[in-house]
Structure 1
Amino acid sequence: MLLSALLTSVGINLGLCFLFFTLYSILRKQPGNVTVYAPRLVHEGKSQQRDEFNLERFLPTAGWVRRAWELSDEHILLNMGLDALVFSRIFVFSLRVFSFAAMVGIFILVPVNYMGTELEEFSDLSNKTLDSFSISNVNNGSNRLWIHFCAIYIFTGVVCSLLYSEFKYISSKRIAYFYSSKPQPQEFTIMVSSIPRVSGSSISDTVESFFRQYHPSTYLSHIVVHRTDKLKTLVNNAEKLYKKLTRIKSGNFSQQKFRRDGFLGLFGRNVDEADHYEKKLEKLEHEMRLKQSLLAGEEVPAAFVSFRTRHGASIALNIQQGLDPTEWVTEMAPEPRDVHWPFFTASFVRRWISNVVVFVAFMTLIVLFIVPVLLVQGLANLHQLEIWFPFLKGVLNIAVVSQVITGYLPSLILQFFLHMIPPVMLLLSSMQGFISHSQTENSACFKLLIFTIWNSFFANVLSGSALYRVNVFLEPKNIPRVLAEAVPAQATFFISYVVTSGWTDLSSEIFRLVPLLLSFLKKIFCIEDDKELQVPSTPYCGEIPKILFFGLLGITYFFLSPLILPFLVVYYCLGYIIFRNQLLNVYAGKYETGGKFWPIVHRSTVFSLILMHVIAIGIFGLKERPLASSLTIPLPILTTLFSFYCQRRFLPIFRSYPTECLVNKDRADERDPDMSEFHANLVVAYRDPALLPPQFSLSRDINQEDSPLLHSRQP
């Protein structure tokens, strides 16, 4: 790619960023858009939008940037949770890493690369390719390669130091968050599955007998899970009908008072609409209570077991309960709002088959995605495009057309295909039988990271530079050499990808085009929305893999093509401001994992460092510096040992809290007068929402018949 093509791409994306920021600055101040740009504040009753006319409403301002910048970690932790803080700290960590890398790369490595004469280039700077600023331009056997060698060692040390500091910081915040939070149901509860069936006893009786016998001093209560998939359909229908009936009775719904009770309201006799829907709702309630009464015999061999203390729950969680390790299987209970109830309707065999199907589907998706990757690489290499489509040769020779095609279009097309992947990964993970939404998203995040690294990095690298060597099979001893040949050749594509996918995608995130269009269409067509204001959940699953992938690009190309580093610094600066603004105004956490996404960040960063080391070994070999290649070999070994130490030092804190913390918190709770009320609420905290007594009808009072039909068991 020529430097002029890169500048064309930068100009296009800078224009789009400026446009999105300007429009957001104006649209966010319009009262009609408050539910689009500040749904979190509206939900919390903190919105301060006013309807009176003000000229300042129509002028772009940057006050939101200052508010996002000044947002402290303590404010995020207190109001948004530890997961939001970890998400924000990913940008902080990345900014520190690549700010240092950019200073070394731009002021030391780029001049060294540019002074090389390995590549024959035009004297005109605008007609030079970006390879002139990469290690490819350094002469073979040059002593200047020792500068790159030293830079790799220094950079690795800095990244490991920052990674250790961040792991330590987040671990301390996790403990501090635990001590400062109020008692939570998941701290006292475990999930027990594979409960053995005892002849003549129900699952509930078996659980109660077992835990009363073996945990007599700490056992509090349990709730056995029931099959409620059919009942959930009735509950959803009743909720929709209840909301519609509420709007009709409120008098704010512009609709006929009478309607026909036949097909689609077009046939039959005229009836009072409110009375018709209320009778229909009462019928649904009666059917729901009937199905609830029949669920006593549809127990699933799984139960939520609650204890009087956190320490008691931890002991039951971490010690094998029965002689057979496949029975009485325990795991941490998620938050009650985080429970994925459809999981419990799947049998063990069905879950096992689902895992096999998910694995096959995941591998198939990885293979099929090679097709758009090949298309993208064809656009990034004009000579290959001319071979495939010779009739376009005249058009492709036009300077502006070639610059747009090679500098902007490939990364735009790749980004379009990648946007379809996160929902697919969530769907695949939801089929694996996780008991919580957070586990599903964590699994989807890991799958998406693997998919992105393989298809957006390795597939692009190998398809772009080894297009005519598709029969090459990678052997372990050849990996450094093959990567050393392939990775530098794709530096220009990834620089363009950072600009197109990174900058513009972040800018569109703050603009929120789709919610804005939906809100606009509802106003135009006077569509009444019977749904409550839904605050969108923080997109950890979709954004974290993308952030880590850009980190992999920056670490990998740190010494290969340092020109990518300033663009990455801009990307992380934009992400830091934009997502802190979104956390403040838009997103709300639907669950809290206590920062369990951070280990994924740690492993991804270590993998990126090791990949850089492997490529460096191959590069120094190709550049006829075998001593530098040999001296680089200890780096991946030392980095792996560092990772093992960090995981041994900090990872256990992310799996479970230590006894010291649990006992201290339990002792503090003994002085809390509200603990008796908390224990009373804990008994019913994990009741399936489908088993709650129906209370939708507007015309009747709650009576004794509304009490739940399925009770929890407690001593």
Structure 2
Amino acid sequence: HPPWLYYVHAVVVWGVCFVVRGFLFQAQAKFLKMRFEWLLGLPAPRATTILFANIPRTYRSVSQVTVFLSGIFSDDAVQEVNFVKHTSALASMVQAQERAKELGRKAELRAEKDGVRPTHRVRPSLAEPSGKQVDSISHYAEERQALQGRIEAERKRIVTEGDSLSSGINSPCAFVTFATRHQAEMARDLRFSANCKLWQVSSPPEPSAIRWQALLADPNRSALMKTFGYALIVALYLFFTPLCALITSAATTVDAGPLQPVWGALAPTLGLRLMLMLLPTILLTTFRLLFALRSDPEAQHHLQAWFFAFEFIFVILVTAVSTSLVDTIEQLAKQPMSVFDLLAAKMPDATHFYMNYLVLSWSTYSFMLLRVGNLVKFLVFKAALYTEEEAFQKAEPESQDSDGMGVRCTELSISVCILLIFSTLSPLVAPIAAVSFALSRITFGYLVVFAETRKPDLGGEFWVTQLGHVQLGPAL
């Protein structure tokens, strides 16, 4: 018979589960009130605009969409229709103009420093085979002026030909603004075709965060690229599994001599953190290239879901496979239900690992407060003769790969799961986690409110996903 203390521990675990569940429901109730207030406070036209995707070719004009929707609602229901247009030529001109503006500004700063107007040699042409030496400031100003005329002409052509079905300028996506919010909400809940892939409706993203190339993507090609993206993520998972097991076992396989105690305590935690630092960039790059995500916050939300899956497996469950990956897989293949016995046998011995993991996170908060990446960019641009205000604008925002909402939400969720799982095994985990959460509150309270630039949000989707992640802690 097991000792009586085991029964006490079981009661404590169930108590933690019920208490956490109660807190989560209370927090969600408070969030819903704020969510409703946020939704009610959305101004027009954002609150009355709906994004239509996969519009059939025969309806890809302002007049056709207006007639189609007016037949469903009323003649005055549709106030405005704006198609996402194919403007590759215009985009190239705008990029060339921005480049000329940037080079002209650099030439002006160089002239202010040296007291002499800089010159450079332009590309060779038929008239000037060897290239002509020109005044840099005047040359880039003339180039911007010439591009401005071409840009205005191209914009006029797009507006003129945009309503023609044969022009092919309009993409399958359009933003439709209704007269009232009631009509917009009705449109979002309706199905406009027997084919569920046509006339897809959704709430539009924040305008400043829209990824226009994703809205221009062909639906069939997007589905194929998305499948390929999932295959890459699975391959990354299979590659990371043995690598993670190798890192966590480095403390016993590598002899550090007199520093072996320090090495044994920090090597697994530090090595695992270094490897996990590369994951957000890999995942986010995959999402941006292969997934037709409409906005940057949506990419961060995908990152939150997938990065949490990686961290939950390789940070929390890694203790079950850290000794021998092959033996563990073989055992679970023969007896799948033995996973619970395996975790129960391995996890109590890993509490020191997670104490070190939480303590090591303290240093990351101080690193965040320093904003080293932004500081380095600011100093580089300032050294390039930009003014302080210009250097500040170019140094913002912080890297969204490592400091975006997705990574931050994941790290906090993992810390909460570590607290809930291992505090019942080792009570010392609780005060260490409390210090970690206090530091995170101070750090993010300062950064988000006072230091970082304001960014668009999804209206609470990160929060709801976090609650789902935190519930995995009591479940495990």
TM range, smaller chain: 0.7 to 0.9
> How far does the alpha carbon of each residue in 1:670-713 deviate from its partner, in whole angstroms, 9 at most, with x for none?
xxxxxxxxxxxxxxxxxxxxxxxxxxxxxxxxxxxxxxxxxxxx
Query: 2:287 matched to which residue of 1?
Result: 429
Equivalences for residues 311-460 of structure 1 within 5 A: 311-380=182-251, 382=252, 385=253, 392=255, 395-396=256-257, 398=258, 401-430=259-288, 431-460=290-319
Equivalent position of 2:345 in the other structure: 485
Q: Which amino acid aligns with 1:449?
A: F
Match of residue 240, structure 1, among 94, 99, 103? 99
Aligned partner letter, 1:349: N
Residue 19 of structure 2, aligned match among 143, 154, 158: 158
Counterpart Cα distance in 1 of 2:324 and 2:249: 11
Equivalent of 2:122, from 257, 262, 275? 262
Aligned to 1:606: 471
Q: Which residue in 2 is equivalent to 1:193? A: 53
What is the total number of aligned residue pairs between the two structures? 453
Structure 1 match to 2:8: 147
In the superposition, relative to structure 1, how do residues 536 and 521 fare at CA in structure 2: closer, same or farther (>3 Å)?
closer
What pairs up with 1:546-695 in 2 under 5 angstroms?
A: 546-611=411-476
The one-letter code of the counterpart of 1:257 is R
Q: Give the whole-Å Cα distance in 1 for the aligned partners of 2:368 and 2:213.
A: 31
How far apart, CA to CA, are the structure 2 residues paired with 1:585 and 1:542?
20
Q: Residues 470 and 247 of structure 1: is their aligned pair in 2 closer, same or farther, counting only changes over 3 Å? A: closer
Residue equivalent to 1:542: 407
Tell me, what secondary structure is at the counterpart of 2:202? strand
Alignment deviations for residues 128-179 of structure 1 (CA, whole Å, 9 cap, x no partner):
xxxxxxxxxxxx7110112212211221121111111110111111222344
Q: In structure 2, the residue corresponding to 1:324 is in which secondary structure?
A: coil
- Following superposition, the deviation at residue 528 of structure 1 comes to 3.1
Q: 1:331: Cα distance to partner?
A: 0.9
The 3-state SS of whatever aligns with 2:330 is coil
TM-score, with structure 1 as normaliser: 0.59
SS of alignment partner, residue 222 of structure 1: strand
CA offsets 1:573-592 (integer angstroms, 9 cap, x no match) = 11011110112221233213
The question of whether the paired residues in 1 share the 8 Å contact of 2:305 and 2:465 is answered with yes
Residue of structure 2 in register with 1:273 after alignment = 136
Distance 2:358 2:152 in 1: 56
The separation in 1 between residues aligned to 2:365 and 2:88, in whole angstroms, is: 39
Separation (CA, whole Å) in 2 of partners of 1:519 and 1:336: 27
* Aligned partner letter, 1:145: Y
Q: Is residue 358–residue 432 contact of structure 1 (8 Å, CA) maintained in 2? A: yes
Task: Identify if the C-alpha distance between structure 1 residues 327 and 519 changes in structure 2 by more than 3 Å, giving closer, same or farther.
Answer: closer
When residues 356 and 251 of structure 1 are mapped into structure 2, their CA distance, relative to the original with a 3 A threshold, is closer
TM-fit CA distance, 1:531: 6.1
Contact 1:461-1:487 within 8 A present in 2 as well: yes
Instruction: Provide the rounded CA distance (Å) in 1 between the counterparts of 2:189 and 2:34.
Output: 24
Counterpart residue identity of residue 214, structure 2? F
Deviation at 1:522, TM superposition (A): 5.0
**What is the CA–CA distance in structure 1 between the aligned matches of 2:106 and 2:385, rounded to whole Å?**
13
Q: In the TM superposition, what is the alpha-carbon distance from 1:476 to its structure 2 partner?
A: 4.3
Contact 1:510/1:582, CA 8 A, preserved across alignment? yes
Deviations 1:330-384 (A, max 9, x none): 111112112110112211121111111110111111111124313322223x2xx
- Cα distance in 2 for residues equivalent to 1:250 and 1:518: 18
- Partner SS, residue 471 of structure 1: helix
**Residue in 1 that maps onto 2:330:** 471
Instruction: Please tell me the residue identity of whatever aligns with 1:275.
Output: S
Name the structure, 1 or 2, with higher relative contact order (CA <8 Å, separation 6+).
Answer: 1
* 1:531–1:230 CA distance, 2 compared to 1 (3 A): farther
Residue identity (%): 19
Relative to structure 1, the CA distance from residue 250 to residue 427 in structure 2 (aligned partners, 3 Å threshold; closer, same or farther) is closer
The corresponding residue for 2:37 is 176
1:286-301 equivalences in 2 (<5 Å): 286-292=149-155, 293=157, 296=162, 297=167, 298-301=169-172
CA contact (8 A) 2:84 2:216 kept: no
**Number of the residue aligned with 1:654:** none
Please tell me whether the aligned partners of residues 245 and 274 of structure 1 are also in contact (alpha carbons under 8 angstroms): yes
Name the SS of the counterpart of 1:562 in structure 2. coil
Cα distance between partner residues in 1 of 2:111 and 2:181 = 49
The 3-state SS of whatever aligns with 2:321 is helix
Q: Unpaired runs of 5+ in structure 1?
A: 1-139, 387-391, 612-715
Q: Please report how far the alpha carbon of residue 465 of structure 1 lies from its aligned counterpart in structure 2 after TM superposition.
A: 6.6
Quick one: structure 1 residues 145 and 213, their matched pair in 2 at CA, closer, same or farther if it must change by over 3 Å? Answer: same
Q: Which amino acid aligns with 1:341?
A: W
- The alignment yields a C-alpha RMSD, in angstroms, of 2.6
Q: CA deviation at 1:212?
A: 1.8
Displacement of 1:318 in angstroms is 0.6
Given that 1:498 and 1:550 are in contact with CA atoms closer than 8 Å, whether structure 2 keeps it comes out as yes
Contact 1:203–1:301 (CA under 8 A) maintained in structure 2: no
Compare 279-288 and 441-450 and name the one that shifted more.
Answer: 279-288
Distance 2:379 2:172 in 1: 49
Task: Give the 3 Å change call, closer, same or farther, for CA 191–440 of structure 1 in structure 2.
Answer: same
Report if aligned partners of 2:245, 2:325 keep a CA contact under 8 Å in 1.
no
Q: Secondary structure at the match of 1:434?
A: coil
- Alignment partners' CA distance in 2, 1:515 and 1:484: 44
Shift of 1:503: 0.9
* Alignment CA distance shift 1:252-1:302 (3 Å): same
| Candidates 76, 80, 85, aligned match of 1:221 | 80
For the 8 Å contact 1:197–1:206, the answer to whether it is kept is no
What SS class does the counterpart of residue 561 from structure 1 fall into? coil
Counterpart of 1:231 in structure 2 is 90
Matched, 1:167 2:28: yes
Deviations 1:487-546 (A, max 9, x none): 22322222211111x1111111112223333444555x5543766615426721111111
Kindly indicate whether the alpha-carbon contact (under 8 Å) linking 1:204 and 1:224 is maintained by their aligned counterparts in 2: yes
